[in-house]
Amino acid sequence: MLNITINGRPAEAQPGETILEALNRASVKVPTLCHVEGLAPTGACRLCMVELEANHQLVPACSYPVAEGMAVGTRTPDVLEARRTILELLLSNHPDDCLYCLRNGNCDLQRLAKEHGIDQRLYRGKQTKIPLDMSGPALVRDPEKCILCGRCVRVCEEIQTVSAIDFVGRGCNAYIGTAFGRGLNVSSCIHCGQCVRVCPTGALVERNQVREVLRALADPNLFCVVQHAPAVSVTLAEEFGIQPGSDIDGRMVAALRSVGFKRVFDTSFTADLTIMEEGSELVHRVKTGGVLPMMTSCSPGWIKFVEQFYPEMIPNLSTCKSPQQMMGALIKSFVAEREGVEPRRIFSVSIMPCTAKKFEAGRAEMRQDHVPDVDIVLTTRELGALLRLCGVDLNAFEPEETDTPFGERSTAGKLFGATGGVMEAAIRSAHFLLTGRNLADLKIEPLRGLDGCKELTANIDGLEVKAAVVSGLGNARKLLDEVRAGTKQLHFIEVMTCPGGCINGGGQPLSTTTDAVKARMKRLYEIDGEETLRLSHENPWVTRLYAEFLGEPLGHKSHELLHTHYHQRDVVL
């Protein structure tokens, strides 16, 4: 333990930690722009400058190590002056577009300018002129609003090991771009949106489709339906300032009906269905000597990752569509039939914690007779925006149930929202499929928690099932390399593109912190602990759907509607 002083007050610090870590522990805030929690500091923005009292030197708190007896000042006149100048210089190359910016009111740069009382333009520099990149299905990049903090580049490279974007050029001509300045649509970007989540400005935003949905809702010829993913109900509250970890499922359903959706479905239902199909597929592969390990297919960023970086492992991917696409396909077939509405007249929206889902919904495989299974995907953030725009007060609603014919979900399906959830649900049901009995204890502790890599060997009546769960594609890459090298023998792998799974998805609120993600996860586990329907195969509505419409898992109808295929992608790697 080291003794230091912060602004004249004694504080404690650990040897080897940075000044910033010590400041955080002491709840003393300094602004940061380039720092990303969990990654090595780069010291690029210099906004975190603090003053060392010993020699009046300004040093970056994010990368400067503490030392015994160190005295730091975080608000000395020199510090405040330096910060202000840095901000003024950043603003000198900024388009001042706040009123026309998706980040208006929710922008780190704007907030810092306000906090530092910047009220006039002192520097007029040459402005970066680089066109918008609107080519991508999920994200829009505006390099003119970029302050070159490098957070997106590092998340893309270090967390996701995709490296779709990097610094291009030098000095005042530098900008963030793809290889050869091409559009994101032909780059290796997997549309995960993790870069959007760390971007401090409006330089990276989701493709906002709120207006398209509003237009559809107002169109009397369309029958608008909506589905919502398992991780949304435990997150949306934060968009309205309610504390992280609050589940507002029923009120959200009511709110969605109030803005005009005719039917509201829970994607957790098709998560249960995924378990039936994927579980059967796994058992089939194991029994018939099929390709193993089987890898989950519910995370579309991960699918694209395999298609472009590991095409030889495409046969390992489960052929199951993701829960979103299963629901989409059922809505435009089964529901269309029941409601007597032509599939073309159904406008199917899905609310997802994910930007890559926008890409997935647009895939050519995800349509029947040229009608897309899902018309528009909105992120949790966009739903927040839509409800605010419609003047919806969530507190004014009594909780409501989702609609039949998908009336109920199991908590196993709900667990899909967190890393390990698919595996936990799958093992619960696989145990039943193989033995005819349910597990004595349904809670599978080794699969829980935010760890990026988890493993489990389940012994199901003498049959050993080796499972691995990873989240964040850097972790997936490491595991795939081991599988490919033959150093790891596995049967089943669950991969979530985003670290921690959907609760930390690229479409989740920008205010997301690690604590918020933990709270969302805890809430999902609580739901699983509180409710009684905890097994996908016991969901009575799933049984009914098979009896009335689908036939059996992996049957003809399932293959037509619920399964798909993938293909190698020609992108710039």
Partner 1 sequence: MSNAVETVLARHPGAKRDKLIPILQEVQTAEGYLSEASIVRIGKHLNLPASKIYGVATFYNQFRFQPKGRFHIMICRGTACHVKGSARVLDTLTRMLKVAPGQTTREGLFSLEVVACMGACALSPALAINDEFFPKVSPTKIAKLLDKCRQQDAESAAVAVANA
What does the binding site for partner 1 look like in residue numbers (CB under 8 A)? 157, 162-170, 177-180, 187-188, 572-573
The β-bridge partners of 495 are 470
Q: Where are the beta strands (DSSP E) in 381-438?
A: none
Q: Is residue 352 a contact point for ligand FES (CB under 6 A)?
A: no
The item of ligand SF4, partner 1, ligand FES, none sharing an interface with residue 517, based on CB under 5 to 8 Å by kind, is: none
* 446: Cα separation from own chain's centroid: 22
Of 84, 70, 80, the C-alpha closest to 6 is 70
Q: How far is the CB of 8 from ligand FES (least distance, A)?
A: 22
- Respond yes or no on whether the N-terminal peptide bond of residue 323 is cis (omega within 30° of 0): no
- Which DSSP letter does residue 538 get? G
Q: Which is nearer to ligand SF4, 143 or 421 (CB)?
A: 143
Residue 502, Cα to own-chain centre: how many angstroms? 5
Residue nearest to ligand FES (CB): 62
What string of DSSP letters covers 133-188? B--SSSEEE-GGG-----HHHHIIIIIS----EEEES-GGG-EEEEGGG--GGGSS
> Is residue 21 annotated as a catalytic residue, yes or no?
no
Asked whether position 571 contacts ligand SF4 by CB under 6 A, the answer is: no
Which of these ranges, 43-51, 110-118, 129-137, 456-464, lies near ligand FES under the rule CB under 6 A? Answer: 43-51
User: Taking CB under 6 A as the rule, does residue 33 contact ligand FES?
Assistant: yes
Cβ proximity to ligand SF4, 190 vs 516, nearer residue: 190
- Which option in ligand FES, ligand SF4, partner 1, none does residue 348 bind, with CB closer than 5 to 8 A by kind? none
Active site residue 471: no
Task: Provide, rounded to whole angstroms, the least separation between the CB of residue 30 and ligand FES.
Answer: 8
In the complex, least distance from residue 158 CB atom to ligand FES, rounded to whole angstroms: 16
Q: Which is nearer to ligand FES, 37 or 398 (CB)?
A: 37
3-state helix, strand, coil in the chain (%, to 5): 40, 15, 45
Q: How far apart are CA 409 and CA 540, in angstroms?
A: 9
Among residues 49, 58, 148, 561, the one that binds ligand SF4 under rule CB under 6 A: 148
| Residue 528: closest CA among 439, 426, 423, 416 | 416
For partner 1, the closer CB: 34 or 107: 34
Q: Which residue is associated with the tokens 């007249």?
A: 345
Of positions 22, 23, 28, 35, contacts ligand FES by CB under 6 A = 35
Sequence-distant (6+) residues with CB within 8 A of 562 are 273, 277, 320, 321, 326, 329, 550
Catalytic (active site) residue 318: yes
Nearest to 388 by CA among 532, 226, 240, 251: 240
For the question of residue 498 being annotated catalytic, the response is: no
Binding at 60: pick from partner 1, ligand SF4, ligand FES, none (beta carbon under 5-8 Å per type): ligand FES
Instruction: Tell me how many residues contact ligand FES (CB under 6 A).
Output: 12
Minimum CB separation of residue 169 from partner 1 in Å reads 5
199 near ligand SF4 (CB under 6 A): yes
Per-residue x/- mask for ligand SF4, residues 104 to 133, rule CB under 6 A? x--x-xx-----------------------
Separation of alpha carbons 33 and 36, rounded Å: 8
CB of 121 to ligand FES, least distance (A): 23
Decide if residue 308 touches ligand SF4 (CB under 6 A).
no
Catalytic status, residue 357: yes
Judge whether 278 counts as a catalytic residue.
yes
Task: State CA 550 to chain mean position distance.
Answer: 31
Cβ closest to partner 1, residue 404 vs residue 568: 568
Which of 213, 218, 226 is closest to 402 using CA atoms? 226
Task: Decide whether 187 or 296 has the Cβ nearer to ligand SF4.
Answer: 187
Q: Which residues contact 498 (CB under 8 A, 6 or more apart)?
A: 192, 194, 299, 301, 354, 471, 472, 504, 505, 506
Site stretch for ligand SF4 (CB under 6 A), options 69-77, 157-165, 368-376, 522-530 = 157-165
Integer angstrom CA distances of residue 505 from 14, 60, 276 = 32, 30, 25
Q: How far is CA 108 from the centre of its chain?
A: 20
Using the contact rule CB under 6 A, the part of the chain among 146-154, 339-347, 371-379, 396-404 near ligand SF4 is 146-154
| Catalytic residue check, 280 | no
Residue with smaller CB distance to ligand SF4, 191 or 537: 191
Q: What are the residues facing 51 on neighbouring strands? A: 58, 73
> Rounded CA gap, 252 and 209, in Å?
19
Identify whether 502 is a catalytic site residue.
yes
Q: Which of 239, 281, 424, 494 is catalytic?
A: 281
Q: CA 405 from chain center: how many Å?
A: 28
* Active-site choice (51, 238, 360, 494): 360
Q: Is residue 394 classed as helix, strand or coil in its secondary structure?
A: helix
Residue 48 DSSP label? T
CA atoms of 232 and 300, how far apart (whole Å): 17
Please report whether residue 46 would count as binding ligand FES according to CB under 6 A: yes
Which residue out of 45, 48, 107, 298 is catalytically annotated? 298
Contacting residues toward ligand FES, per CB under 6 A: 32-35, 43-48, 60, 62
Contacting residues toward ligand SF4, per CB under 6 A: 94, 97-98, 101, 103-104, 107, 109-110, 139, 145-152, 155-156, 160, 162, 164-165, 176, 189-195, 198-204
Active-site residues: which are they?
A: 278, 281, 298, 318, 357, 360, 365, 502
